[in-house]
Structure 1
Amino acid sequence: MSGYTMEPATPWEISPRVLPPSDQWSPAFAVPAPVCRFENFLGAERAAALLEYAIAREEEFAQGTVLDPLTGQVSRKGRDSLVLPVSSEVFSSHLADCLPLVQDVIGSRAALTRSLTVLTAHGEGGHFGIHTDASRVRDVSTAVSAVYYLHRTPRGFGGGQLRLYDTVVRDGRARPAESYRTVEPDHDTIVFFPAGAFHEVVPSTCPSGRFQDFRFTLTTWISGEEPAPGTPDPAAPRIWQWLADAAEGTRPLHDLTEDHDGARPVPLPRPGPRTRLGFPETSGGPGA
């Protein structure tokens, strides 16, 4: 039983002296990017095997690059990480099986048909400054980015969190906000978000300096067919349109013949009748 005496409330008027009338309603508002995260994505056995695969190929990793959207030049500015282009039928099947559920959660309606994947490794000082994935996909207004995390237990590194920035919209124009959400790089977890969302990887530390103690990821960009120029999808959720608008300045001006880290696109398999997570295939996902 409550310790407070229940008495009828008396309504009060807040006078214009306290809250003067406004001439117009024109606030800027911050919209969080939709995100979907799964734990135990591959399972202990597959995750352990994939981690050992990555560690065993230390000599095959190369320095990760970025692409200047204006000049098209490849550089390492704002990024310190190692990359190895890869593909995997098993991993692609897991992506395809959960993608209908992911699209329901994050509000994507596009038909996504192909993926591009690299293994990454972050050691002492490893980071990736604020960016979008517009240089990785055909249509940033529909594509989905996925980051799958791997590391030894206990962790041999610190930091390395993903910051997923909100989008500020004012007078119909969008730009990245200063506010963000943080995703921890936990082993055998994966996070999905729109490729147009601004994000960064904060600097990591690795006291031992050993490659096996680095922060590893499988980073994948999932996209569809080439969009018609200048014809945004009117059925796309408004947040996806805002994200694409804010990311437009990071899109390369010139058509790319290949990925700047050497990754190659592969067809995404159709999802099975039931996903490995035990959810039925949704009617609005690819392959419906």
Structure 2
Amino acid sequence: MSGYAMEPAMPTEIGTQALPPSDRWSTTPVAPAPVCRFENFLGAERAGSLLEYAISRQDDFNAGTVLDPLSGQVSHKGRSSLVLPVTSSVFSAHLADCLPLVQELLGHQAALTQTLTVLTAHGEGGHYGVHTDASRVRDVGTALSAVYYLHRKPRGFEGGQLRLYDTLLGGGGAQPAESYRTIEPEHDTIVFFPAAAFHEVVPSTCPSGRFADHRFTLTTWISDSGSAAPVPDTSPRIWQWLARAAERTRPLTDITRDHDGARPVALPAADPATRLTLPGPRTTP
């Protein structure tokens, strides 16, 4: 039998000895980055076909690069992965159809008109250190990053999770916090998050060493092309805070082309017949 009282407890005052009075309290909140994830995004048959395509292009992959935020120089510092720039009208159409729902879930209001896409492969020791995607887009405060995962089953690698860092707000500025959310690289899933969010890919292992056992992604940056007149920034404050923290990771010089060779492609309009939306409110007869 429990030793606790069976009757409902009465409220007890926490005295000042246990909690002394003070005129100070923490003013450095930690805000999680908005994120949403879809499972079974393309379906088993098409996801399998796309994976086999990625494996078949092994000889066309090159070492992934990074862009130094101060000098604008291209290097491999902090990154070990293989990349292949690609385009896909079918995949772009799927992105366009689900983006209204994604933006609603993330509290995102900006116009999105173009994409940059690369296939990536992470094998033994593959990783990508903490970074933002500011070097990939014109306006990091409004752009989205999307990562679609592919791998063989059973999985031939370990690790490779995405860490999406929270944002620490304080001292009139913003910076990445020590806390983060972990996203597992599950086959045929896709995750969307702000391009301004600090994130990393933790190291992976691939015991077989075979390319087919790597961790594959189709990584896309979705942004505004900048061709239209700018509109007032009405995005939620979290997006503005993220952008403020990410700005120092943007190259000081204008970059005319993507450092991994991806090229911008116009995002098609959403198809009303396949556009994904949130279910409406329940009505009573």
TM-score by length of 1: 0.91
Deviation at 1:38, TM superposition (A): 0.3
Deviates more, 1:74-83 or 1:39-48: 39-48
Q: Does the CA contact (< 8 Å) of 1:26 and 1:171 recur in 2? A: no
What SS is found at the alignment partner of 1:95? helix
Q: 1:232 to 1:68 in 2, by over 3 A?
A: farther
**Letter matched to residue 82 of structure 1:** L
Q: Say yes or no: does 1:31 pair with 2:28.
A: no
**For the residues of structure 2 that align with 1:88 and 1:11, how far apart are their CA atoms?**
62
**For the residues of structure 1 that align with 2:128 and 2:70, how far apart are their CA atoms?**
19
Q: Say yes or no: does 1:267 pair with 2:271.
A: no
Q: Provide the aligned C-alpha RMSD in A.
A: 2.3
Aligned residues: 279
Deviates more, 1:22-31 or 1:130-139: 22-31
Percent identity between the two aligned chains: 73
**For the residues of structure 1 that align with 2:186 and 2:11, how far apart are their CA atoms?**
50
What SS is found at the alignment partner of 2:134? coil
Q: Say yes or no: does 1:211 pair with 2:211.
A: yes
What does the per-residue CA deviation read over 1:155-209, in whole Å, with 9 as the maximum and x for residues that have no partner? 1111100000100111331100111111010110000000000000001111111
Deviation at 1:12, TM superposition (A): 3.2
**For the residues of structure 2 that align with 1:57 and 1:219, how far apart are their CA atoms?**
16
**For the residues of structure 2 that align with 1:222 and 1:36, how far apart are their CA atoms?**
15
Q: Say yes or no: does 1:257 pair with 2:256.
A: yes
**Letter matched to residue 125 of structure 2:** G
Q: Say yes or no: does 1:152 pair with 2:152.
A: yes
Deviation at 1:11, TM superposition (A): 3.7
Q: Say yes or no: does 1:223 pair with 2:217.
A: no
**For the residues of structure 2 that align with 1:271 and 1:182, how far apart are their CA atoms?**
30
Structure 2: gaps of 5 or more residues: 281-285
What SS is found at the alignment partner of 2:164? strand
**For the residues of structure 2 that align with 1:7 and 1:213, how far apart are their CA atoms?**
59
Q: Say yes or no: does 1:79 pair with 2:79.
A: yes
**For the residues of structure 2 that align with 1:85 and 1:281, how far apart are their CA atoms?**
36
**Letter matched to residue 264 of structure 1:** R
Deviates more, 1:259-268 or 1:19-28: 19-28
Q: Which residue of 2 aligns with 1:285?
A: none
Q: Say yes or no: does 1:191 pair with 2:191.
A: yes
Q: 1:233 to 1:22 in 2, by over 3 A?
A: farther
What does the per-residue CA deviation read over 1:82-118, in whole Å, with 9 as the maximum and x for residues that have no partner? 0000000000000000000000011110000000000
Structure 1: gaps of 5 or more residues: 283-288
**Letter matched to residue 275 of structure 1:** T
Q: Does the CA contact (< 8 Å) of 1:143 and 1:222 recur in 2? A: yes
Q: Which residue of 2 aligns with 1:41?
A: 41
Deviation at 1:36, TM superposition (A): 0.5
Q: Which residue of 1 aligns with 2:283?
A: none
Q: Does the CA contact (< 8 Å) of 1:139 and 1:227 recur in 2? A: no
What does the per-residue CA deviation read over 1:30-74, in whole Å, with 9 as the maximum and x for residues that have no partner? 111010100111111111111111111100000000000100000
**Letter matched to residue 247 of structure 2:** E
Q: 1:148 to 1:187 in 2, by over 3 A?
A: same
**For the residues of structure 2 that align with 1:18 and 1:91, how far apart are their CA atoms?**
58
What SS is found at the alignment partner of 2:135? coil
**Letter matched to residue 100 of structure 1:** P
Deviation at 1:225, TM superposition (A): 3.5
TM-score by length of 2: 0.92
**For the residues of structure 2 that align with 1:24 and 1:233, how far apart are their CA atoms?**
36
